[in-house]
Amino acid sequence: MSERRNCVGLLNGSKAFNSFIDDCKVVDLLLTGKKFTWFGPNNKMSRLD
């Protein structure tokens, strides 16, 4: 499942942050309940954890 819906691209800072998280081997905990934790205008949804 993708963590985003109806969202376009990532900012350069976001890409750097994601690379940092990947390099640190951070483990993603399972999300229970709703698939997304943030809901924005125009039906945008993201999983923020």
Segment 9-48, tens digit of pLDDT: 666 678 888 889 899 998 877 778 888 889 999 999 998 8
Q: What order of strands is seen across the sheet that includes strand 45-46?
A: 4-5, 45-46, 38-39
* pLDDT number for residue 49: 67
Q: Can you list the positions of beta strands (E) in 1-49? A: 4-5, 38-39, 45-46
**From CA 1, how far away is CA 34, in angstroms rounded?**
12
This prediction has a pTM of 0.39
